[in-house]
Amino acid sequence: MIHSLDFSSSMNKHYNQMKKGILFVLIGFACTLKAQEPVHEAQIKTLYHQALTAGKSYDWLDHLSNKIGGRLSGSLNAERAVEWGKNELESLGLDRVYLQNVMVPKWVRGTFEYASIITGPGMSMNVPVCALGGSIATPSSGLRAGVVEVKSFEELERLGKEKIEGKFVFFNRPMPAELINTFEAYSKTVNQRTQGAAKAARLGAVGVIVRSLNLRLDDYPHTGSMRYGDLPNSMRIPAAAISTNGAQLLSSMLALNDDLKFYLKLDCKNFPDVPSHNVVGELKGSEFPDEIIVVGGHLDSWDLGDGSHDDGAGIVQSMEVLRLFKAMNYQPKRTLRVVLYMNEENGLRGGTAYAQHAKQNNEKHIFALESDAGGFSPRGFVFEATSSQFAQIESWKPYLTPYGVARFDLGGSGADIGPLRDDNVVLSGLRPDSQRYFDFHHAANDTFDAINKRELELGAAAMSSLIYLVDQYGF
């Protein structure tokens, strides 16, 4: 590492050069663009100091991840998380904490997921799979069939019913590694998971195996939502994800023997909707109480890991925003709300319900911020805003660049706040570094140990700073 400061007297020869190096560092810090208002600079510095030295987000996430755990919509854990969120927000002494009722889908993974590649009599290899969320089960004795590997829906259609009927379709298009933004790489491959089963079923496939949406080669299958759409019940087929290593293995085995068989057993099940809740906490505005600023993440998660990155991080960072304001006795001008949305993963019912309530009550939302891209080191924000709104936001950049939050882009903000979208509200999403996110996304390794305390806290501080500026200036 950089040892400019790491050598004492015996290194005198280099000492003056090193002093020069240190001086450069200090000049570098001093050269940072100055923000306009010293009072805002000072408030933001206090927010960061508090978040990094006396923050609560990490301890909260420890509880949510390790004491509650995975919390799929409709599960007992999801309701435990609702109760926990409500209790914690109440302990902050906010002006109001309440639940919003919402009906959510209930899908249960079951107790048994198993797959193997069968290359001959008595010759088989297990491969790591998991059911995709929403999938039906296989017959209780499992499914055994040949496999057709495809990279795209176009290739699937070209092969047609003749080649597909009675087979598993193996969707094996990898996330493109050359894309810098890993969410862009995800967007180019996720339709295999969401629509693959419906497309393959119409051509007579018996099931689908989807390469996990993971840029890394490893042994974790990654779940996530899939939908049959308007496909009749009788035509629906089971859908499983296979780990990236498993996908590589299956593909190379198929290259040797395209007549091999695949065995899959899933016992997941869809149930009727059940009641659940969004959790809402509020600090009343002192000057413009009717102007609402909302910050949130989603309380539900997939069931394989603890949902620490997706989206425990966003939950505790959003709670931390209001806690920090209380801790520093900051009285907001506008009404600040934190919302812990239910059911982002497989239905978006919470985000939809929140927006419906807002509309029914004629609430005026001016800004909505979502954190749902992992608890990694924050690099910027995206905004859905008019050009004049965005120009105003860009004028705030000098307040955040000293903290490494330097990228403000126009872009899609987040799923849960999407239903609030109209011509008046500015929507925004925190954008942490995206490189590691899909190593953990929807997989059993999305657990608390994958979270770095400082990075989580820096995200909370960045969100707090942005909310502070919106509260000060409005739009």
Restricting to residues 151-190, which ones interact with a second copy according to CB under 8 A? 177-178, 180-184, 186-187, 190
* Residue 147 or 400 having the CB closest to a second copy: 400
**Gyration radius from the chain CA atoms:** 25
The reply on whether position 20 binds a second copy by CB under 8 A is yes
* Residue 115 or 295 having the CB closest to a second copy: 295
* Residue 276 or 335 having the CB closest to a second copy: 276
Using alpha carbons, select from 118, 126, 116, 115 the residue that is nearest to residue 266: 115
The residue written with tokens 């308007």 in the block is: 230
What is the distance between the alpha carbons of residues 190 and 197, in angstroms, rounded to a whole number? 12
The reply on whether position 402 binds a second copy by CB under 8 A is yes
344 given a catalytic annotation: yes
Stretch 338-397 residues interacting with a second copy (CB under 8 A): 344-345, 348, 352, 372-374, 377, 379, 382, 384
Stretch 270-329 residues interacting with a second copy (CB under 8 A): 310-311
- Considering the complex, what minimum distance in angstroms separates the CB of residue 391 from a second copy? 13
- Considering the complex, what minimum distance in angstroms separates the CB of residue 325 from a second copy? 18
Which one among 34, 49, 67, 158 touches a second copy, defined by CB under 8 A? 49
What is the distance between the alpha carbons of residues 202 and 160, in angstroms, rounded to a whole number? 10
Work out the angle at residue 24's Cα, subtended by the Cα atoms of residues 20 and 26, and round it to the nearest 5 degrees: 115
Stretch 416-445 residues interacting with a second copy (CB under 8 A): 418-419, 421, 429, 433, 435-437, 439, 441
* Residue 144 or 357 having the CB closest to a second copy: 357
Stretch 198-217 residues interacting with a second copy (CB under 8 A): 198, 215-216
- Considering the complex, what minimum distance in angstroms separates the CB of residue 431 from a second copy? 10
- Considering the complex, what minimum distance in angstroms separates the CB of residue 47 from a second copy? 11
Task: Dump the DSSP string for 254-295.
Answer: HHH-TT-EEEEEE--EEEEEEEEEEEEEEE--SSEEEEEEEE
- Considering the complex, what minimum distance in angstroms separates the CB of residue 175 from a second copy? 11
Which one among 455, 472, 474, 475 touches a second copy, defined by CB under 8 A? 455
Q: How far is CA 15 from CA 1, 25, 26, in A?
A: 17, 15, 17
Stretch 29-48 residues interacting with a second copy (CB under 8 A): 29, 31, 48
Please pick, among 149, 282, 320, 344, the residue that the annotation labels catalytic: 344
Structure tokens at 55: 């923050």
Contacts of 57 (CB under 8 A, 6+ apart): 51, 316, 317, 319, 320, 456, 457, 460
Structure tokens at 84: 């926990």
Tell me the longest C-alpha to C-alpha distance in the chain: 81
The count of residues in the chain is 475
Catalytic residues: 344
